[in-house]
């Protein structure tokens, strides 16, 4: 188990995280979300031992995670971290990058492992391509493959699909997370993308104002958002009578006590997102078709 107990971190007298505590079990998939600057990347760096905690402790299965003040070489053999910088060797091939930490003693097994990992990140056929010729998204996929080459016990991911286009992102995400799950690799991911969270995460941590605002299973947090920050992460929402409603929870009816004036209709594929004004505030709801601007509509709250 990864145990994070009452850790705080300050940078140049600026407090970034304050008294963070959470337990993460072996094989768990945990997502860390929050606004930019909320401390997501900082928390990953603390877990990895790249930074020293100001106070508190971090340990994995009883082994204390030490920072640079107490450990000359940053990191631990059982843990890998894929940051947003990738840290690849640009003048060597994709295969050499992925197999950099694999033993050369069993050459055939090494090549088979490299091939397996390139399949996981959908880079078949790129083994002999030099990294410097890859796109940003392809480099990110090489970094992911290299991180899981020696099958770490813990994998830390900082926005792991941020450079990957939507044409590849969905299938890559499914393949990669399926690999982690089948190999029981504990994964902690900092992300801005709800698609990294809802279908896969066992636990969700929302950071705000230097602390954990909410922690729990993503489905439960999604169903009952207590804060606008949480609702905004999942999608379009409105606050009506001090209650948070997602856009799909508001429907148009023939008559009700809730009357709004439409302002915009935004095409979203199989529905339109309608922006309307209610009691001086903007609200959002889904509808099957566009609605002309300045139309009065009556709404029902689910």
**Shared-domain flag, residues 148 and 202:** yes
**Shared-domain flag, residues 256 and 109:** no
**Shared-domain flag, residues 152 and 272:** no
Q: Is 190 exposed, middle or buried (0-12, 13-18, 19+ CB in 10 A)?
A: buried
In a domain, 231, yes or no: no
**Shared-domain flag, residues 125 and 248:** no
pLDDT of 11 reads 87
Q: Exposure string (b/e) for 69-105, b if CB count within 10 Å is 16 or more?
A: eeeeeeebeebbbbbeebebeeeebbbbbbbeebeee
In a domain, 140, yes or no: yes
pLDDT of 106 reads 86
In a domain, 228, yes or no: no
**Shared-domain flag, residues 142 and 269:** no
pLDDT of 139 reads 96
Q: Of the candidates 223, 253, 285, which is a domain's last residue? A: 223
**Shared-domain flag, residues 57 and 201:** yes
Residue 215 CB contacts under 8 Å (≥ 6 apart), including other chains? 22, 203, 204, 205, 206
Domain boundaries, position 263: 237-301
In a domain, 244, yes or no: yes
In a domain, 230, yes or no: no
CB distance 31 to 219 below 8 Å:
no
**Shared-domain flag, residues 246 and 271:** yes
**Shared-domain flag, residues 219 and 245:** no
pLDDT of 120 reads 97
* CA 130 remoteness from chain centre: 28
pTM value? Answer: 0.94
* Average pLDDT by stretches of 10, the chain with 302 residues: 96 92 97 96 96 96 92 89 92 96 90 97 96 96 96 97 92 96 97 96 97 97 95 97 97 97 97 97 98 98 94
In a domain, 207, yes or no: yes
In a domain, 100, yes or no: yes
pLDDT of 200 reads 97
Query: How many folded domains does the chain comprise?
Result: 2
**Shared-domain flag, residues 75 and 137:** yes
**Shared-domain flag, residues 210 and 258:** no
pLDDT of 202 reads 97
Cα distance between residue 233 and residue 208, in whole Å: 12
Residue 91 backbone phi and psi in degrees, to 5: -100, 10
**Shared-domain flag, residues 175 and 254:** no
**Shared-domain flag, residues 62 and 207:** yes
Domain holding 193: CATH number? 3.40.50.300
Domain holding 247: CATH number? 2.40.50.140
Q: Of the candidates 175, 201, 223, which is a domain's last residue? A: 223
pLDDT of 72 reads 83
In a domain, 232, yes or no: no
Q: Of the candidates 188, 223, 258, which is a domain's last residue? A: 223
């Amino acid at each position: 188990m990864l145990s994070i107990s009452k850790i705080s971190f300050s940078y140049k007298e600026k407090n970034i995280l304050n008294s963070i505590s959470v337990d993460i079990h072996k094989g768990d998939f945990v997502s860390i979300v929050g606004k930019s600057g909320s401390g997501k990347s900082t928390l990953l760096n603390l877990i990895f031992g790249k930074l020293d905690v100001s106070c508190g402790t971090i340990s994995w299965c009883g082994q204390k995670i030490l920072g640079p003040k107490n450990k000359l070489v940053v990191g631990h053999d059982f843990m890998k971290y894929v940051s947003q910088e990738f840290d690849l060797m640009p003048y060597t091939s994709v295969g050499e990058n992925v197999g950099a930490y694999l033993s050369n003693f069993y050459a055939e097994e090494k090549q088979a492992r490299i091939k397996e990992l390139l399949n996981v990140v959908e880079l078949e056929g790129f083994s002999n391509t030099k990294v410097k010729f890859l796109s940003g998204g392809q480099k990110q996929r090489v970094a992911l493959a290299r991180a899981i080459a020696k099958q770490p016990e813990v994998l830390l991911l900082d926005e792991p699909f941020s450079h990957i286009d939507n044409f590849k992102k969905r299938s890559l995400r499914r393949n990669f997370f399926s690999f982690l799950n089948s190999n029981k690799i504990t994964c902690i991911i900092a992300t801005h993308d709800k698609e990294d969270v809802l279908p896969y995460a066992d636990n969700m941590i929302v950071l705000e104002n230097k602390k954990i605002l909410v922690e729990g299973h993503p489905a439960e947090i999604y169903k009952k958002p207590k804060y606008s920050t949480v609702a905004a992460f999942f999608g379009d929402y409105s606050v009506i009578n001090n209650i948070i409603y997602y856009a799909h929870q508001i429907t148009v009816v023939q008559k009700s006590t809730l009357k709004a004036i439409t302002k915009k209709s935004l095409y979203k594929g199989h529905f339109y997102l309608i922006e309307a004004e209610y009691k001086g505030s903007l609200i959002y709801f889904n509808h099957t078709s566009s609605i002309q601007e300045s139309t009065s509509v009556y709404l029902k709250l689910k």
